[in-house]
Structure 1
Amino acid sequence: MARILVIRFSALGDVAMTIPVIHSLAVQYPQHEIVILSRGMSQPLFQRLPANVSFVSADLSGKHKGLRGLNKLFAELKAMHFDYVADLHDVLRSRYLCSRFLLSGISVASIHKGRLGKKRLTRRRHKVLEMQKSSFRRYADVFSTLGCPILLNFSSIYGEGQGDFSQLSSVVEPKGTHKWIGIAPFAKHLGKIYPLALQEQIVAHFASDPTVRVFLFGGGKEEQEVFDRWIKKYPSVTSMIGKLNLSTELNLMSYLDVMLSMDSANMHLASLVNTPVVSIWGATHPYAGFMGWKQLPINTVQVDLPCRPCSVYGQKSCFRGDYACLMQITPEQVIEKIERIIR
């Protein structure tokens, strides 16, 4: 038996992408104890994993902030007596912790992010449009380095079924014969957000269909204001902001027939419950390796432009100034993808 520390901080979507790998690891190596180190907000993602997986919260904005905080965190972790450390992040914080573990004689392996290949993919001129290794595979490679090769065979955090609907009964009526569509219209960066005026046309189309129910996913004041405007126009549409926590949100997603998402966390959350995702890609591209788990390329919506992709994460400003990568996608293209799945 070995105790393995797995480090992955950062954004919710990136942490969600570790789940298929860690679940597969836990099932195939039940003799090992796997401890996840991440921000506390990510803990619900790991609640339904096998019993040999546990979670430790890193308070990077509080007691574990800065160098002094990292030293305190290391002392807490060292007392847990790990045999191996898997760094699935490879940033300054995780590198520092790994260096301390190495000096303590603990075996460490870190992710290879393939930065050169991604740079060639996203550079402005002389792009190399070559599929990069997926993040799932890169995570799995870390464990292979530690002597634990993995067969990635994850299906859903709910196994072959769905979540417990009784946890949703206070906010959602039974599904019946309706088709349920989730729409998550936002992303962290502008280069990944399909224009809201065009997204509203998609919402309006399905809101007018009595056989369909639309759920809006998001969070924050700005998103709430947008959803409030849409709900006022389309009363059959339901906003889930403030009604669910992350755990019950995953539960609801497991009952959706399809999720419409940007290249964002909601694509990955829906993937964890085996829900098909129609994903819209603008400044970013599936070739960078961030496609949702087991999502089909045929369900992506994107346009071919010589400037695409211009960014791995979508944070760069559009050098053209018009975001043609998003503006040239028509609502009809997206609607057709969704209709193909639900019909």
Structure 2
Amino acid sequence: MPVQRILVFRLSAMGDVALTVPVIRGMLEENPNLSITFVTRPFFAPFFEGIPRLQLYFPDLKGRHKGFGGLFRLFLDLRKEGRFETVIDLHNVLRTKLVRSYFRAAGTSVFYIDKGREEKKELLKTKEIKQLKHSSERYCDVFRKAGFNVQMSPVPAIASSAKASEKIQEYLESQKLPEQTLKIGFAPFATHATKIWGLENARQLMQLINEKYQAHFYLFGGGQEEIEKLQALSTDNDHITLVAGQMNLSEEIALITRMDFMLSMDSSNMHIAALTGTKTISIWGATHPAFGFYALGQPEEYSLQTPADELACRPCSVFGNKPCIHETIKCMEMLTPNIVFRKMEQLNLFQIQ
């Protein structure tokens, strides 16, 4: 049977690209005559470690493929890769709309994601909480519209490379932690302020845990500002290790797989941890899991949040990019370290496996 080649686009953001992985795996598992070329950024390559019949293509969006002329060159460059029977746009933004229009004009079948914007606007307006379709399921729908059989591959969907796994094994051994020490990953930042619980809350929660349990914390994050803040949090604390800025993405993925559990905001780290199969506890502020961005494969009770019926304004944003109407971020303020700690105990998260 001849191999069918399809072209798939998802350029960003980090969490959204990660959420394509179980779908791409599922597509290739259920369609053995299929080959996928996936257009994304090189930084995200470790997400796709070990997936057969998958080729990654990295556009030069700051150089050769910049601007309208560059996007046409991207179309021409992709055509040089060979003939594609179908183009799948999982991003549906200006860049990908332009490139897919060139393929459509050349006679290639094109399908693109319905992001469910109207449903999300309605939920935001009415505050009537009902679970909307998950982003990964929306990705599946695009392939189904194109005529393919697809079911998401179960978690763990993101795997660490052998090289990174070996390095992390050596790294953990070098720490010489007592045998019964809980290893807890903690990613206290997110893209928008209304999704960030706050470093003081993080510090208090780690203190509450350490007063009762033997635990070591690994702080994850990205960007110089976050790294500096996390560095201040970890300084002079021998039970805290700063990971942010110290490892590449492959190594971070390998380390996350070795955590007893991961604690994160509604962020890319939440999605990455969940997709590795690691227990993932998420803290939610202005946004809500009902919009379809919850951590895949995790129990609903692992999403910790101020109940919407206790705060009339919540949720106030799909993505967390709107300013809070209160002087402080009320939904996060109501979710105190003591409340989070008690909930974690109720979930039996501090039991060594």
Give the structure-2-normalised TM-score. Answer: 0.91
SS in 2 for 1:116: helix
SS in 2 for 1:25: helix
Q: Distance in 2 between matches of 1:134 and 1:162?
A: 31
Q: Which residue of 1 aligns with 2:223?
A: 220
Query: Which runs of 5 or more residues in structure 1 are unaligned?
Result: none
Percentage of matched positions with identical amino acids: 38
Any residues of structure 2 matched to 1:1-343 within 5 Å, and which?
1-49=3-51, 51-80=52-81, 81-123=83-125, 126-157=126-157, 165-173=165-173, 176-208=179-211, 211-303=214-306, 304=308, 305-339=311-345, 340-343=348-351
Q: Post-superposition shift, 1:111?
A: 0.5
SS in 2 for 1:78: helix
SS in 1 for 2:282: strand
Q: Post-superposition shift, 1:184?
A: 0.1
Q: CA deviation digits over 1:240-279, x for unaligned, max 9?
A: 1222111111111111111100000000110121011110
CA contact (8 A) 1:301 1:333 kept: no
Give the structure-1-normalised TM-score. Answer: 0.93
Number of corresponding residues: 340
Q: Post-superposition shift, 1:142?
A: 0.5
Residues 56-65 or 173-182, more deviating: 173-182
Change (3 A) 1:101 1:7: same
CA contact (8 A) 1:7 1:38 kept: yes
Q: Post-superposition shift, 1:159?
A: 7.0
Query: Which runs of 5 or more residues in structure 2 are unaligned?
Result: none
* CA-atom RMSD in angstroms: 2.1
Q: Post-superposition shift, 1:161?
A: 12
Change (3 A) 1:209 1:249: farther
Q: Post-superposition shift, 1:210?
A: 6.2
SS in 2 for 1:338: helix
Q: CA deviation digits over 1:277-329, x for unaligned, max 9?
A: 11011010001100111121101111122111111110100122321111100
Q: CA deviation digits over 1:117-152, x for unaligned, max 9?
A: 1111223xx334222111011000000011112122
Residues 66-75 or 173-182, more deviating: 173-182
